[in-house]
Amino acid sequence: MAIEGASQEEFEADLKSRYVGSYTFYMKLPPASQEEVFQDYRDGAAISDIRKKIMDRFLKR
């Protein structure tokens, strides 16, 4: 899913347009957790793994 050189804002826009539920939970995360998720995205993580991490961080797992 990662777009080479994408900014965090571009990642968030893509997440919002494709996975609005995950985006909603992502936006409720503290900035440090949002950055962690974004770094996984930049490193080429699968969208399923990114979405799972968003929920894990939201549920504090």
Which residue, 61, 6, 7, 58, is CA-closest to 33? Answer: 58
Dist. CA 34–CA 54, nearest whole Å:
8
Asked if 53 contacts 36 with a C-beta cutoff of 8 angstroms, the reply is: yes
What are 10-58's pLDDT values in tens digits?
999 999 999 999 999 999 999 999 999 999 999 999 999 999 999 999 9
| Predicted model pTM | 0.89
pLDDT value, residue 35: 97
Asked if 2 contacts 32 with a C-beta cutoff of 8 angstroms, the reply is: no
Q: Where exactly are the structural domains of the chain?
A: 8-58
Beta-carbon count within 10 A of 57 CB: 19
